[in-house]
Structure 1
Amino acid sequence: MTELPVTHAVSNEDDLLLRLDRLKPGRPHRKLMVMGGLGYTFDAFDGAFMSYALSALIVIWHIPKSTAGWLLSSIFAGYLVGALVAGVLADRFGRRRMMLTALLVFCFCSLLIGTSTTVPELFVWRMLAGVGLGAEATLIAPYISEFLPARVRGQFVARTISFLALGYILAGILAPVVIAPHPETGWRIAAVIAALPVVLLLWWRRSMPESPRYLLSRGRVAEATAIIEDFERKCEVDPEALAETAQTQTSAPTQSNVSAGGMFAPLTKLWAGPTARTTLMLWLLWFALTGAHYGFSTWLPTLLVTDKGFTITKSFLFTLVVGIAQIPGYYVAQLLIDRLERKWLIAGYVLGATGSALVVALSDSNLMLLVGAALLAAFLNGVAAVYYTYTAELYPTSIRVTGMGAASAVGRIGAIVTPIAIGYLSAAGVSFTQIFLGLVALLATAIAVVVVLGQKTSGRALS
């Protein structure tokens, strides 16, 4: 990244943070939102597109359901490692470097998925591709949030996360065209298609700046000043005027928050003092919501074929309609996230998801099944825009991405366990209805956790 010139004397850290928080979001903020949003788009596209591909492969390779559960969960094992490691490394070495590395790992391994000839080989490459995806998904929300003022942070991060819906819809459109006509070769083509757009995103992200909050936490004040001034100019604000205003409203300079201890010291801080309650709440919330979400989304195309008698093409089209239903879920979250307290908005969304899962479990017609699945997708995906934002707000800059990564990693444990459990349960004769009633119990747990242990963060400046 090209070094940016500093036009005036370096301000103290309080001044810089106030200027960052007072700056009205403009073109550079929107550019970062699109960069991050496209990352989520391709993450969702790969997850959904390859779920379609693997669902077809399960049928044509005659893979037992118990084995299929492990295969569908392979990416989440990688997600777990990628989320945890990327969080720790990003708090130590920077957000930007890790985001670029994550995309490289994903591209390389995704291409290798298409060369697989056995189930174990496919499992390994899918898991390693998940390492890159897990790192990428973990880093985007905290990175974007560190550039935004408190008054609009929720709305901007929610908009960024809503790009996930585009990926699901794109996958739903392409799956019937690429995979369904010739699944024996279509799934390999799908692996290549999933990787190629990320190469373009990787090239575009070369100009992405490092987070000023991260730089300040490492004592790199001059670099943070240059980036903040560049944002001010692009937002058509005079940096010198803002600096003078900030200096009249701040007190003595703060000390830079350089992380002490070894590389994994931030992980121990997640369980120190009052932060332990936050970490417990987030880990339980992420486990329940991510487990329910991926238990539903990874198995729906397969269960429609094996338990409901749908053809592969019909199941793909059904799932496409469900994917489109995510859009209003994200849109409503964007409207409400800066108007309602985050914890109550999460609880409301999950309550809606719980009711929708009950409709899916008890439906006796394809129409009711479609309505229930569409509502479930809207609530489960819409709430992600809120709890991603919420998680990034609850930790200080020095451990923000570590906290986000650890919560995401625990969520991936839910995403691993749930599809595997569904595979074994389905193989043992447990019905479609009973499986979705199990998801209802997970969602009810999430409501209780956030209501009892959740903190208020709306409008609060990042620490």
Structure 2
Amino acid sequence: MEAAERRITVASRIDRLPLSSLHRRLSFVLGIGTFFDLYDIFLGGLLGAVLTPLFHLSTFETALIIGSGFFGMFIGAIVLGVVSDYIGRRSMYMVDLLIYSLFSLIAAFAPNFIWVVIFRFLAGIGLGAEPPLTDIYMGEMIPRHARGRYTAWSYTLGFFGVPLAGFVGRFVVKGSFLGLDGWRWLLIVGSLGALIVWLLRRHLPESPRWHEIRQDEASANAALTSIEEQVMREHGLKELPEPQPVVVEPQTRATIAEIFSGVYAKRTIMLWIFQILQTVGYYGFGSLAPVVLTAKGFSVVTSLGYTALSFLGYPLGSFISIFLVERIERKWLIVTSALLIALFGLSFGFATSAIVLVISGFLLTTVSNIFSNAFHIYQAEIFPTRMRGTAVGIAYSLSRLVSAILPFAALPVLKSLGPVAVFAGEAVLLVLLCLDVALLGPRSTGRTLEIIAR
């Protein structure tokens, strides 16, 4: 590898920009996109609870309903994440939601559970790249001093989709509208909403940093000059502060092999282990909560109501994270919140009364999104631009694979050993996650790791 050099980069020009309406618009539009991604992720658990009695599903068939979307997301996160390093962030953003919207709409008219599984899988391919692409795009477009805060704002907006899925499910699941069962409308809402977001994304700029790593200096400069001119007009500035030269590695074409070389190998291993383990603690509750509550003896409608109340913690936790992500070292914020997830998960598993269940679930979802926002920011900061889509996309795909497998492991345990065993197992895995991050994870607050994160 060539020696690193000190020079002015696209990143250093972006980092000296004052915040503007462009940055706020990016945060809003990407947040709306994650809204439907997260809506659909947690829809799997609701569909599992609703369709099991409707189609008389076995434990394995219920697991298929819950896991099918995640299997698709596994494929999408790998393929679309890697492809985004070659065709651009904005281009991939326009592709992924169209795939999801089309197949989610088709799934709404599926005649039986097996077609629901097939079309949920295909829709999941489109959603697979959505969160890692959001992390990457925000990391490349937002100045580093506000990157954590704006990413957290974006996810805060997105996480309102989770309680929405719960409340909509609670009120439509037993009825019908225009001749369609309520559960079908849950899929239609997600599909049409995603199409609206696709229309909003048409006007997003391509990342200048992506042009830079493709060695297209003219396009990078043109895109960034347009952004700089817009910021200066908005703030009434005649000139911007001089960008600071930084030490950077030479811009080379990303390869999958490179994420396992040099300093990146340790980070890749850490992130792969992390993504496998975090899924159990984070998505485990969201995807299994309705099924766990029905196993505790509550009706489907009551279970969906309690789940919706618990899910209100997701946007609250994301909001709280806004005030923490720039003040606390990312890796230690991840470790602390993961331990709290384990604690509140055990409380939920042992609980029998409605009030304790709802409070435990609410606290669990609250700390879950402090955890989630911290790691979304963190994973985009520890790899350089040229390999970020590949490194983050492949690692994130593992979380979706585990999410797909999780119901097949957790539901039989739930059936034979009960909720306490399920959440005790999750707590053990979360402790292992904490050891992984503490021992292997580099430090990052957005101001460290600048040499290799550009």
Q: Distance in 1 between matches of 2:274 and 2:249?
A: 34
Q: 2:190 aligns with which of 191, 194, 206?
A: 194
SS at match of 2:239: helix
Cα distance change on mapping 1:54 and 1:362 into 2, 3 Å: closer
In structure 1, how many angstroms separate the alpha carbons of the residues matched to 2:256 and 2:44? 32
Question: Following TM superposition, by how much is the alpha carbon of 1:415 offset from its aligned partner in structure 2, in angstroms?
Answer: 0.9
Instruction: Give the corresponding residue for 1:279.
Output: 268
2:60 counterpart of 1:66: yes
Q: 1:125 — aligned with what?
A: 119
Deviation, 1:117, is 2.0
The 3-state SS of whatever aligns with 2:56 is: coil
**Paired amino acid for 1:343:** K
Shift of 1:19: 1.8
Q: What corresponds to 1:87 in structure 2?
A: 81
* 1:209 alignment partner in structure 2: 205
Letter in 1 for 2:435: A
User: With structure 2 as the length reference, what TM-score do the two structures score?
Assistant: 0.92
Are the equivalent residues in 1 in contact too, given 2:44–2:69 (CA < 8 A)?
no
C-alpha offsets along residues 144-199 of structure 1, whole Å, 9 cap, x if unaligned?
A: 11012222111111111222321012212211222233598111222111100111
**TM-score for the superposition, normalised by structure 1:** 0.90
Out of 201, 212, 217, the position equivalent to 1:221 is 217
Task: Please give the per-residue CA displacement for 1:208-254, whole angstroms capped at 9, x wherever unaligned.
Answer: 111111111111122222222222233235897338x33xx5389x7
Q: 1:133-282 maps to which residues of 2 (within 5 A)?
A: 133-182=127-176, 185-236=181-232, 241-242=239-240, 245-246=242-243, 249-250=244-245, 257-259=251-253, 266-282=255-271
Give me the whole-angstrom Cα distance separating, in 1, the residues matched to 2:407 and 2:221.
47
SS where residue 43 of structure 2 aligns? helix
Which position in structure 2 is the counterpart of 1:8? none
What residue identity is the alignment partner of 2:215? G
**What runs of 5+ residues in structure 2 fail to find an aligned partner?**
1-5
Of 158-167 and 206-215, deviating more is 158-167
Shift of residue 440, structure 1, vs aligned partner: 0.8
Write the letter of the residue equivalent to 1:367: I
Moved more, 52-61 or 276-285: 52-61
CA drift of 1:340 comes to: 1.0
Question: Is the aligned partner of 1:314 residue 2:302?
Answer: yes
Whether the 8 Å contact between 1:165 and 1:323 is mirrored in structure 2 is: no
- Residue type of the partner of 1:137? P
Q: C-alpha distance in 2, partners of 1:130/1:365?
A: 35
Within 1, Cα distance between the matches of 2:349 and 2:45? 21
Q: Is the 8 A contact 1:301 1:316 kept in 2?
A: yes
Per the alignment, residue 383 of structure 1 pairs with: 371
Matched, 1:439 2:431: no
Deviations, residues 6-34 of structure 1 (Å, cap 9, x unaligned)? xxxxxx97254322111112100111111
Shift of 1:50: 4.6
* Equivalent-residue separation in structure 2 for 1:364 and 1:204 (angstroms): 45
- The aligned length equals 441
Deviates more, 1:84-93 or 1:46-55: 46-55
Shift of 1:54: 3.4
Change (3 A) 1:451 1:15: closer
Q: Which moved more, 1:129-138 or 1:231-240?
A: 231-240
| Matching residue's letter, 1:241 | E
Residues 76 and 413 in structure 1, CA contact (< 8 A), matched pair in contact too = yes
Instruction: Choose which of 62, 65, 75 in structure 1 pairs with 2:69.
Output: 75
| Letter matched to residue 341 of structure 2 | A
CA offset at residue 127 of structure 1?
0.7
Matched AA of 1:198 = A
SS at match of 2:141: coil
Opposite residue 200 of structure 2, the aligned amino acid is W
Secondary structure (helix, strand or coil) at the match of 1:146 reads helix
Which residue matches 2:3? Answer: none
Could you say which residue in structure 2 is the equivalent of 1:49? 43
Distance 2:43 2:342 in 1: 26
CA distance in 2, matches of 1:192, 1:126: 12
Amino acid at match of 2:187: A
TM-aligned CA deviation for residue 255 of structure 1 = 8.5
**Aligned partner of residue 18 in structure 1, secondary structure:** helix
CA offset digits 1:426-446 (Å, max 9, x no partner): 34x121111111111121111
| Cα distance in 2, alignment partners of residues 250 and 360 from structure 1 | 51
- In angstroms, what is the RMSD of aligned CA positions? 2.1
Residues 342 and 457 of structure 1 are in contact (CA less than 8 Å); yes or no, is this contact kept in structure 2? yes
Shift in CA distance, 112/69, structure 1 to aligned 2, threshold 3 Å: same
Q: How far off is 1:69 after superposition?
A: 1.2
Aligned-residue offset at 1:206: 0.7
Aligned equivalent of 1:449: 436
How far apart are 1:421 and its partner, in Å? 0.5
- Label 1:255 to 1:418 Cα distance change in 2 as closer, same or farther (>3 A): closer
8 Å contact kept, 2:321–2:369: no
Structure 1 alignment gaps of length 5 or more? 1-11, 260-264
Name the SS for the 1:207 alignment partner. Answer: coil
- Per-residue deviation at 1:272? 0.9
- C-alpha distance in structure 2 between counterparts of 1:72 and 1:204, whole Å: 29
In structure 1, distance between residues paired with 2:277 and 2:9 = 40
Report the CA distance shift for 1:54/1:37 in structure 2 as closer, same or farther (over 3 A). Answer: same
Amino acid at match of 1:296: F
Partner Cα separation in structure 2 for residue 352 and residue 379 of structure 1: 7
Q: Map residues 406-417 of structure 1 onto 2, 5 A cutoff.
A: 406-417=394-405
CA distance in structure 2 between the aligned counterparts of 1:16 and 1:362, rounded to whole angstroms: 52
Q: Match for residue 3 of structure 1?
A: none
